Structure 1
């Protein structure tokens, strides 16, 4: 069992000081204990609308009022993008929130220690409903208690998202469960459909963020966060109590146009402990007042956000070519490892975009990626050395998808723009170089993540057709590559990749020979690529199909997977 706690966020001193939506949620919680009232709520709104900020505020207020039963915050990082631990986490938190629950649930676990490997539905019955029934009448603790589940859309498996909604609905309908449940997510089609269907829809209240005055919420958030910076920043004592002025706050609210992502990026940037917050706020105000457009164009709805991104990314001490390489590499690596997670559940080498992974794959000096990203913490999560040493590999992520959208548009990102074709060619050449180097050593994937990712990349990008993924992994972009890049690619001996699959395919796929059934070269107008690269693989596949998978070398060690 493990916790998914709410991170720090805006924390009003009392309910009455909160924005309107939190006041409405407060009223919903207060009435949830009354007979016949709804006990399931869904907060829905687009990306960047402030859903997580709202949930964190509610969680902190409920915790202060001793009515928080439990919370589960989904996230994009590995381990928080699945629902496997949802019920166990809530049961663990109920041990502190519900008198007598700890003893009751421990008795259930003692009867079946394999319970955590059972289905979520079985866990719901045995870890929550059965212990609550054993406790009997709740008596004094039957006050409105709250369970918060945030970021359901971050759960990557749509089937798990649907199951989670039905489980949470079942919780609120059970006679022994004295809690209300508040879920937040983007209105993804599968989530929207599940909430709109029987039996969930009649028992659920929906909070639509667009119906609220987001300007008031954003102003409230800014006041709280700038107060926190004045109190906690090393230079905070030098800031006057009137910093920032009311005029500055109102200008920021106007510039945000309802986008919490714009405001949270500013707060992250200004709160950077390495520089004076007053100077950083001045930089922000200058950037959004006189934005430098990379390309002359009509006014863009993202102009202010783009100006902020451009300001933060304009670090003179960083090599722009290396910065562009790393920025475009991050989402490309995630596309590959997340696609592979659809194909296998086996453990494998750690291939997510860690600083070590990027340095190794692109042949950079150790520490280069950390240096490049060291001043971009307002936009990008970069694991520090302590996290890596104590918790194993951690991965680089953009805080918001708008960053990737910015990089994909030349009129927005200027010299940091890179076409998808250039990215694919860059990765393909790096994959080839890593596999060619590997062919001289035949090293294990656990000691050569560059070759392991190179093999995975070439398989997914070039030889697996019709993969059920949200990403477009076709190779049509290579048709615009330069002759020199294509020649480097066409010279590669594809049998090296087949050799890697033969030796270590089990490290990427639980049934490597079964996976080879999907190895079907993609269509391409590049005759050289078809004749010299893709067609020969069909012969190699036939040979590999004759191999007994039991005879393949087993992994030397069990390595956790990013997938």
Structure 2
């Protein structure tokens, strides 16, 4: 079929060296998928695996596709990939139909006849294509009690979030979930993008789908990392026996990588691929580069980045952020990365940066694969968190993140100025609340207030946070960016500060002196 995408199939030559599960990793998830396929009393014919970026979803999908193909029950597969330009939603249904036709000669005859009678089927909308190319031919075979449809075939769709059209992503999920009458089982993987999470958790949809979540912080994931390290290091050692001793690598080095990986199989795999790279044929040297890299000691000019593949993934995620939101997204990331605080909830982050609820969530809508983003109903008590330290390190390193880098000097200045303002606002008498356009209670200084927290309590929380980090942030502002901050300090009412709020003052005064400020005009 001209509109198909043969490169998206699990066994396509266009997908050279696709990721696969190590024999000892993701065992529980793979077992549950096999059990789902073999259970004639399964609750749903749609199983949706969701997980953050680079946690091994594609490896699971590839491994299961190969397993089901050997079992003779793989109907079709489609691996979306935005970087490889396999992201056109209009190619999915023709590609699935092509593979089903290869696997089921009777089905092939049926759709060949349909296409002969109506060559324009492939130009119809996706819902019509699904009906005429997949649903109706299979239903006809079922009506004939044909043996080829007596046992369901598995259709695997990997990386649904990488499909270029969000509306098409939702349309496909709806088509799959309503195809329960067909002899097909749908295994779908995706990142937890906001629109997909919303659909999957909706009460009307929840019962039509089996949920599987791939995490990096559970015990099994951390054990998987340790198994992967042991196995792959042993394989590398055997390949380079003339270079490496029997005790390579040292236990403390394996332990360090395992600790840094925190259950992140993608991170671990990228490092191991770098260490075992045959182009370099120097695993000890590559390991030393990795140890310097994860130890924060820098790589030096011209050195290869062991996480180049992971960086490409992070670039792809950030490139999806709409241009009008990008600066705000970076501001949010800068605050939670440079000044992490256990008691700062997501709602406080928004208010600290003077963001309303819509802007806050709009800025983060493409970040669910790298951030833990609380739902609005939980934002008053749950934190906004980065899933893995590799993303924070990426954003702070200009050689890796390039245009997405957190400009730390600018970020410290922004945070310092916001801290000054919140220290003042937190000391003002509580003002009568107003009701905003979305029904949220607002005060002049707060952009987003909801029950059960009062504006007064929220201001106090922000004042405490601002007083803890504000003077530290001031000291971190470089000299060339200091004038704007100093102009704000000239009008700051220092006399309102409490004794416990001036602990950082000796260092702050030293910073003022280093910036050539001998006195401030502010009232003391």
**TM-score between the two structures when normalised by the length of structure 1:** 0.49
Equivalent residue number for residue 189 of structure 1: 194
- Residues 1:247 and 1:35: Cα distance change in structure 2 (over 3 Å): same
- Residues 1:335 and 1:55: Cα distance change in structure 2 (over 3 Å): closer
- Residues 1:65 and 1:212: Cα distance change in structure 2 (over 3 Å): farther
Deviations 1:336-373 (A, max 9, x none): 9x989xxxxxxxxxxxxxxxxxxxxxxxxxxxxxxxxx
Gaps of 5+ in 1: 293-309, 341-399, 423-481, 483-563
Equivalent residue number for residue 222 of structure 2: 215
Question: What displacement does 1:164 show?
Answer: 1.2
Q: Distance in 1 between matches of 2:247 and 2:104?
A: 44
Is contact 2:277–2:283 with CA below 8 Å preserved after alignment?
Answer: no
Equivalent residue number for residue 177 of structure 2: 169
Equivalent residue number for residue 492 of structure 2: none
- 1:127 corresponds to 2:127: no
- Residues 1:249 and 1:72: Cα distance change in structure 2 (over 3 Å): farther
Q: Distance in 2 between matches of 1:420 and 1:72?
A: 34
Equivalent residue number for residue 19 of structure 1: 27
Equivalent residue number for residue 302 of structure 2: 316
Q: Distance in 1 between matches of 2:388 and 2:120?
A: 39
Q: Distance in 1 between matches of 2:400 and 2:48?
A: 41
Question: What displacement does 1:121 show?
Answer: 0.6
Q: Distance in 1 between matches of 2:34 and 2:48?
A: 14
- Residues 1:198 and 1:407: Cα distance change in structure 2 (over 3 Å): closer
For 2:47, what is the secondary structure of its paired residue? strand
Q: Distance in 2 between matches of 1:239 and 1:204?
A: 49
Equivalent residue number for residue 484 of structure 2: none
- Residues 1:113 and 1:150: Cα distance change in structure 2 (over 3 Å): same
- 1:9 corresponds to 2:12: no
For 1:125, what is the secondary structure of its paired residue? helix
- Residues 1:402 and 1:74: Cα distance change in structure 2 (over 3 Å): farther
Question: What displacement does 1:75 show?
Answer: 1.7
Question: What displacement does 1:89 show?
Answer: 1.1
For 1:75, what is the secondary structure of its paired residue? coil
Is contact 1:152–1:161 with CA below 8 Å preserved after alignment?
Answer: yes
**TM-score between the two structures when normalised by the length of structure 2:** 0.52
- Residues 1:65 and 1:17: Cα distance change in structure 2 (over 3 Å): farther
Equivalent residue number for residue 206 of structure 2: 201
Equivalent residue number for residue 497 of structure 2: none
**Alignment equivalent of 1:152, drawn from 160, 170, 183:** 160
Question: What displacement does 1:408 show?
Answer: 4.1
Q: Distance in 1 between matches of 2:21 and 2:80?
A: 20
Q: Number of aligned pairs?
A: 325
- Residues 1:144 and 1:220: Cα distance change in structure 2 (over 3 Å): farther
Question: What displacement does 1:187 show?
Answer: 1.7
Is contact 1:10–1:221 with CA below 8 Å preserved after alignment?
Answer: no
Deviations 1:300-357 (A, max 9, x none): xxxxxxxxxx54xx45389xxxx9xxx9xx8799679x989xxxxxxxxxxxxxxxxx
Q: Distance in 2 between matches of 1:246 and 1:143?
A: 49
Q: Distance in 2 between matches of 1:219 and 1:413?
A: 31
Gaps of 5+ in 2: 325-386, 408-479, 481-524
Q: Distance in 1 between matches of 2:251 and 2:46?
A: 38
Equivalent residue number for residue 46 of structure 1: 52
Q: Distance in 2 between matches of 1:26 and 1:81?
A: 28
Q: Distance in 2 between matches of 1:162 and 1:266?
A: 35
Q: Distance in 2 between matches of 1:219 and 1:127?
A: 46
- Residues 1:144 and 1:217: Cα distance change in structure 2 (over 3 Å): farther
- Residues 1:154 and 1:280: Cα distance change in structure 2 (over 3 Å): farther
Question: What displacement does 1:12 show?
Answer: 5.3
For 1:84, what is the secondary structure of its paired residue? helix
Structure number with larger C-alpha Rg: 2
Is contact 1:41–1:181 with CA below 8 Å preserved after alignment?
Answer: yes
For 1:149, what is the secondary structure of its paired residue? strand
**Alignment equivalent of 2:74, drawn from 68, 73, 76:** 68
Deviations 1:479-537 (A, max 9, x none): xxx9xxxxxxxxxxxxxxxxxxxxxxxxxxxxxxxxxxxxxxxxxxxxxxxxxxxxxxx
Q: Please list, as runs of the form range in 1=range in 2, the aligned pairs for 1:362-381 lying within 5 A after superposition.
A: none
Question: What displacement does 1:199 show?
Answer: 4.8
Q: Please list, as runs of the form range in 1=range in 2, the aligned pairs for 1:252-401 lying within 5 A after superposition.
A: 252-284=257-289, 286-287=291-292, 290-292=295-297, 310-311=298-299, 314-316=300-302
Question: What displacement does 1:269 show?
Answer: 1.3
Question: What displacement does 1:127 show?
Answer: 0.7
- Residues 1:214 and 1:333: Cα distance change in structure 2 (over 3 Å): closer
Q: Distance in 2 between matches of 1:125 and 1:30?
A: 26
C-alpha RMSD of matched pairs (Å): 4.2
For 1:77, what is the secondary structure of its paired residue? coil
For 1:25, what is the secondary structure of its paired residue? helix
- Residues 1:420 and 1:208: Cα distance change in structure 2 (over 3 Å): closer
Q: Distance in 2 between matches of 1:93 and 1:243?
A: 46
